[in-house]
Structure 1
């Protein structure tokens, strides 16, 4: 079955020994049932806890029986040192681990990666020897509980995860580089520091002394050191890890004893869309560049937030403003210190919790299942890097970059994007066929010089005519003459026109989006919204003007025109009338009336020109739909080459956050409470924060 010279392990025991030799595996450490001590180092041989006296072994109180050699509680530790060293054994990964210093684009005043943050710079300033080695790792630690349902009972497991920030933004938070370091059985409570001891010991060793590591990319040995930048948790877990209160009179971990609070027994539900809008603006930045934050804009956001809270303070009782509302005033401070929020929020780790729950096959032994599955997966993933045509286990394939399923017709010669659905060969009307071919001609770079030459020819033979007349004559001409010796092979094939049989698809991936025709859409998803930026030509009696406009429509059909030497994908859409069907409301949102169609004589665009949008029915006017621009999925490409018109950023809008009336600013105490003693002597925008 296997090639000669290759043998399969005869037992699971032998396979596990091989895993351990390659840096995989885990260590099972006995723990006190009350989390007092770990039975390691000086406590290795003890049979009872030195603090509380509880037995090390499992005790069944109903039977008054002790099961020797069966621990009452265990901690699973997956050593990080060998796994860090293993990262540098892959040339690709070893190169990526220096991206922050070798390939990152540095833009003063812009935060796009933790390496741009003051926290990163503070480490460099305080430990110059550490900063001098580009391969030293900067880490984040996350801990949170997950319920794995042990048998018929609810059972909590606390995974401790490690993430590496040396990597590019599109790899930082991927599952492959989120390392499971510890598995704590049950809820650790305030004694979590005891259970974190094995991990902390290794981190301390790596920081103080380092370990000898081989770099496969540079083909040399070096001393690897690591440092922990921060921890990532939800707010209750932050209180557990830091030992700080997270509720009550001193519930703010930033303000501490200076937290101002009022005791209230009444609580009401909070629907605070303004605060949510602010949070999204923080997480997505003010700048019209994807995944970046302009530092100078953060002060303005902080001021707007504080003013907003003051306005809300006029209308809501004090019980609304609990610690979770108060924490919003520290968001901009956190962004300034640490960089974009998406490197530190809990979403990737919460998704990893779902993976952990899925690894449980035996509900009576959930921790063992999780640890064993993690070891096997990491080992297989490591070996897959040395095999050709094998996808990584923990990095999903890019379905938006020339990959997909091609059925029915060979799609290898398609110029842009990838068809995902089955192909159909159809014949269309001569009128539509002519419009599609003419549109391709107008948007082919090799045809543009001939179009320009025709315009110059019209200007030569009609020197006294106005530009408006020349444009009309130019637009009516559909045949351009050219010398046979001067045209290229591409021009020769395009001039013959495409095959009469049109190839149609229902689903197409291009530009980081997956497009579906309106007929193919389901009830759950919407992928037929299309937008394109085009240059309009406005012809009056004597004047010709040009202007860029954004058009919105719905994708009806996906065509691929076969020009023999290459195939060109185009989209046929129903476009909304830009004059009567598109408007902008006072909040800055674009609204379209999808049933008011226009531009019926020009239904086609190149697939490469299409940008995806999402339409949501306006609750105030059912005829109108609100336009939301969809971020592309190919993050690496958008990081390097960003389309400013269609970025993932929410554009700044002065109307999103309410302004303070000028009369309110003149009357200091008419509306605002004066029982807040924080920030005396400061202006209104900072008095609520105490910063």
Structure 2
């Protein structure tokens, strides 16, 4: 690591976390606070091992890591994006859009003059004294750093904008009670016959509920690369979650926890958790509209009140790193791995072991003769050239003609039949009586048409190229019969325009359609090849529903739109389906974010913005204001499951 421009420092610490043996305590052998030895002691044998520290802090200095950021030209440019390229509007997409950032700029104008100076968020803890020293140096003096993007040296400075504390830190820093008599709601013991029992808390799960919770997560099948395989993270025998990584916890909180508790626990407790998950999802989004922050904060107040009402303070604690690294005896080793991975980002021609290169692009695979002229995605499976039924072949070709922007068939019809009403023109465009006539009209049109249109008008090769897997738009798709048992890459969604023709009136509606990928076709038009997906579509009329908290539910077994199975591969959005606990016939739809997703910042991405408002998917469970004013001991425990027996009288013989 030192060869890569970074390293770590070992600092001895008190066994009780009182002090770090540095600065004025550098040569001290006994902790001045608790009196414990600096060295390791075998309490059983009463042996002290001199020069073997009882506890060691591995400190990875922040200054070399910050300097490394500017050694990458791309990252150095990104670090100045907020000053050079940021859109100044009412959307919160960067800390520079916050009042805290503006306050620092106003209070310390000399700091704000150089956009390369960093403004940070940070955790507070007794072991962060070395970090605090580095931050003070960065703020008061700065360090000389090379900027690869501008090819010059500058003085790098940094300031802390926010601190993030776990719940027990409120007791240490703010005097807030988090344990003891006032630390949590009291569950009053009850005498039932010869037993004294402590009632089950409102968040307690029965054995059946634990099983249902674990089975829901165990049966999750998500697209490849979306998150870890949850079936390997769930022990059905022990009814526990095991081995989750940081990203898995994020996915659990933002996506899966609300559906895993969808039919279990008391409704009030379940709603509190669901509200928290939806708010957590919203603050983790790429962009938040500033005008929505006040509403978000109001909802957060209510949600925190509900959480504090039903859960003890011990629930509000950040995860401990040592509990989640692979090597629990040497967690610093795993942290070192993370640091090496971070540093490798700035070394040329270095690949991180275990992370495959980016495969999601739209430029084709030059090693595949069939895909050289493909402009829309890349096949990632073997190709089969087959002949298909004439009926499906015509439908596929017609769909291409209808959805190629250069094919202006409707305009052509209007020019040829100027006195026909819109209803007739729309009907003839949508349901032509003679496909051959349409092709002929386009091929001999006197209007200026592109070479692409002329090739399309002549029709594709009668042999269709079929694949089982395809990369496009940042997604990996696999046909239903080829996706295996671990992942689900066959879910497809498309936004379509429904045309309603009633006598002389034409109306249009936009609707989302959901289905499963059945086959991947590529039509060869000689000049270009066009990929299409043939899908089984859910009947939109009766089998697509919205529930009270905004989830879209579909019945995959009820199909419709069988005469219109095709879409262009470029039109799709990937989704995956999770079986609903409340109705096993229904499935909950989850939208997948593309892997090569990049923020354009030109417009707010409504789909991935905040989740609290009508244009987003989820709706916070409603809370009656009157319920917030009521307080009852019955809110804190369950009556539908057994409590804990804390004392049992022996019956006289």
TM over 0.5: same fold? yes
Cα distance in structure 1, aligned partners of 2:45 and 2:303: 63
CA contact 1:534–1:548 (8 Å) conserved in 2: yes
Aligned to 2:414: 455
Q: Deviations over 1:327-373 (max 9, x none)?
A: 8xxxxxxxxxxxxxxxxx969x96x985x535x8xx5xx26644664
Aligned to 1:330: none
Matched, 1:476 2:473: no
**Structure 2 residue matching 1:476: 3-state secondary structure:** coil
Shift of 1:621: 4.3
**Structure 1 residue matching 2:371: 3-state secondary structure:** coil
Cα 1:64–1:276, aligned 2, differ >3 Å: closer, same or farther?
A: closer
CA contact 1:575–1:597 (8 Å) conserved in 2: yes
Q: Given the alignment, which residue of 483, 487, 496 partners 1:534?
A: 496
Q: Deviations over 1:33-78 (max 9, x none)?
A: 3444433334434444455555444444566555444333322222
Cα distance in structure 2, aligned partners of 1:323 and 1:30: 31
Q: Given the alignment, which residue of 147, 151, 163 partners 1:215?
A: 147
**Structure 1 residue matching 2:415: 3-state secondary structure:** helix
Aligned to 2:98: 117
Q: Deviations over 1:594-648 (max 9, x none)?
A: 3332222221100111122333444454444343333334342476566646878
Aligned to 2:310: 320
**TM-score of the superposition, structure 1-length normalised?**
0.69
Shift of 1:89: 1.8
Matched, 1:442 2:402: yes
Cα distance in structure 2, aligned partners of 1:106 and 1:540: 46
Aligned to 2:481: 519
Shift of 1:127: 2.3
Cα 1:201–1:305, aligned 2, differ >3 Å: closer, same or farther?
A: closer
CA contact 1:435–1:602 (8 Å) conserved in 2: yes
**Structure 1 residue matching 2:77: 3-state secondary structure:** helix
Q: Given the alignment, which residue of 391, 410, 432 partners 1:431?
A: 391
**Structure 2 residue matching 1:416: 3-state secondary structure:** coil
Number of aligned residue pairs: 550
Cα distance in structure 2, aligned partners of 1:243 and 1:308: 23
**Structure 2 residue matching 1:636: 3-state secondary structure:** coil
Shift of 1:268: 0.9
Shift of 1:572: 0.5
Q: Which runs of structure 2 are paired with 1:133-532 in the superposition (5 Å)?
A: 133-142=114-123, 193=126, 195-232=127-164, 234-236=166-168, 245-248=177-180, 263-265=186-188, 268-270=201-203, 271=265, 272-285=269-282, 291-300=286-295, 320=310, 322-323=312-313, 354=324, 356-357=325-326, 366=330, 369-370=333-334, 373=337, 376-383=340-347, 386-387=348-349, 390-391=350-351, 397-402=357-362, 410-448=370-408, 450-459=409-418, 463=419, 465-474=420-429, 475-478=432-435, 479=438, 480-481=441-442, 482-483=444-445, 486-532=448-494
Cα 1:646–1:414, aligned 2, differ >3 Å: closer, same or farther?
A: farther
Cα 1:306–1:236, aligned 2, differ >3 Å: closer, same or farther?
A: closer
**Structure 1 residue matching 2:598: 3-state secondary structure:** helix
For structure 2, the residue ranges without an aligned partner over 5 or more in a row are 189-198, 204-264, 634-653
CA contact 1:284–1:650 (8 Å) conserved in 2: no
Aligned to 2:621: 657
Aligned to 2:76: 94
Shift of 1:547: 2.5
Cα 1:432–1:79, aligned 2, differ >3 Å: closer, same or farther?
A: same
The structure, 1 or 2, with the larger RCO (C-alpha pairs under 8 Å, 6+ apart) is 2
Matched, 1:550 2:502: no
Shift of 1:84: 1.7
Shift of 1:211: 1.2
Q: Deviations over 1:8-31 (max 9, x none)?
A: xxxxxxxxxxx5365322222233
Q: Deviations over 1:451-486 (max 9, x none)?
A: 412232022xxx3x5433344444324321425894
Cα distance in structure 2, aligned partners of 1:115 and 1:49: 43
Aligned to 1:593: 555
Task: Compute the RMSD of aligned alpha carbons.
Answer: 4.1
Aligned to 2:238: none
Cα distance in structure 1, aligned partners of 2:583 and 2:426: 40
For structure 1, the residue ranges without an aligned partner over 5 or more in a row are 1-18, 144-191, 252-260, 328-344, 676-691
Aligned to 2:532: 570
Cα distance in structure 1, aligned partners of 2:29 and 2:122: 32
CA contact 1:529–1:615 (8 Å) conserved in 2: yes
Cα 1:605–1:638, aligned 2, differ >3 Å: closer, same or farther?
A: farther
CA contact 2:146–2:152 (8 Å) conserved in 1: yes
Shift of 1:88: 1.4
Aligned to 2:228: none
Q: Deviations over 1:205-258 (max 9, x none)?
A: 11111112121211222211112223345434665677754334665xxxxxxx
